[in-house]
Amino acid sequence: MASMNDKVAVVVGGAKGIGLAIARRLAQEGATVILTGRRADEVAAAAAAIGSSARGIQADAASQADLERVVAEAGRLHGRIDALVLNAGLSEPATIAEETGEHFDRHFAVNVRGALFGIQAALPVLRDGASVVLVGSIADVMGVTPFSTYGATKAALRSYARSWAAELAPRAIRVNVVAPGPTDTDMMAAVSDEMRQTLIAPIPLGRMARVDEVASAAVFLLGDDASFITGAELCVDGGMRQV
């Protein structure tokens, strides 16, 4: 039996990359999926690629009103959310000397504010016993220059996951983090061969993650096989942060 059969899943930031892979895998496992993204064309294409079990909604993860609108639509259509994935993220380089208020605010608005107000909006619709997955990064505990602000946002998510897991435990709602290492997304396709080799060099398994591997970890945490796991971080990094 499919692990997410008859469940309703919402994937914030599900129109491309890791988010799309998670949305696709959830649908393959039997879930009805609502996915979001900022660009209407990407959202429509993602929902069409998954098929009839997916519905796309254009929404900005940094907008509290947009997040509330997505959750309201999920409630109107299905009356509940069984699985919530908060994936929307932004990663742009800046050294300490280059950092600006706008760069800082933009990263925290999408990566942290979006997750906080996404789960807040969903609370009335999240079923008791539901599961939440935050898409973090192994950068949450690494000094990765010039991506210090990005790493700080992911560290904030890791901290929030612990607190939210404790706060929502009385409702049996589990909150976990899946933390990828370097992942072979479309964004990485534009990276030079030299940079790819630099990223791959410290990975014991000798390659980047595939988006479907990250999706498998996320869907595991969302499903009943992970029913006694909460407040945890599952690293999908080929051993990069582990050995």
Distance CA(53)–CA(171), nearest Å, equals 27
Q: What is the pTM of this model?
A: 0.96
Those residues with Cβ within 8 angstroms of residue 183's Cβ, 6 or more apart along the chain or in another chain: 17, 18, 208, 209, 210, 211, 214, 236
What's the pLDDT score for residue 195?
81
What's the pLDDT score for residue 207?
96
What's the pLDDT score for residue 191?
75
Q: Which residues of 121-138 are buried (b: 16+ CB within 10 A; e: fewer)?
A: bbeebbbeebbbbbbbbb
What's the pLDDT score for residue 187?
73
Active site residues: 150, 154
Identify whether the C-beta of residue 178 lies closer than 8 Å to the C-beta of residue 236: yes
CA 126 to chain centre: 17
What's the pLDDT score for residue 190?
73
What's the pLDDT score for residue 229?
98
Cα angle, residue 226 at apex, residues 236 and 88 outer, rounded to 5°: 50
Q: At 46, list the tokens.
A: 């993602």
Distance CA(35)–CA(12), nearest Å, equals 6
Q: At 2, list the tokens.
A: 């499919």
Q: At 231, list the tokens.
A: 């407040």
Tokens 């990975």 belong to residue: 203
Q: Which of 196, 190, 178 is nearest to 237 (CA)?
A: 178
- Main-chain phi, psi angles of 7, to 5 degrees: -95, 155
For the chain, list the domains and their CATH numbers.
8-183+211-232 (3.40.50.720)
For the chain, 243 residues long, the average pLDDT of each consecutive 10-residue run is 89 97 98 97 98 97 97 97 96 95 97 97 98 97 92 98 98 98 85 86 96 98 97 98 94
Those residues with Cβ within 8 angstroms of residue 76's Cβ, 6 or more apart along the chain or in another chain: none
What's the pLDDT score for residue 193?
86
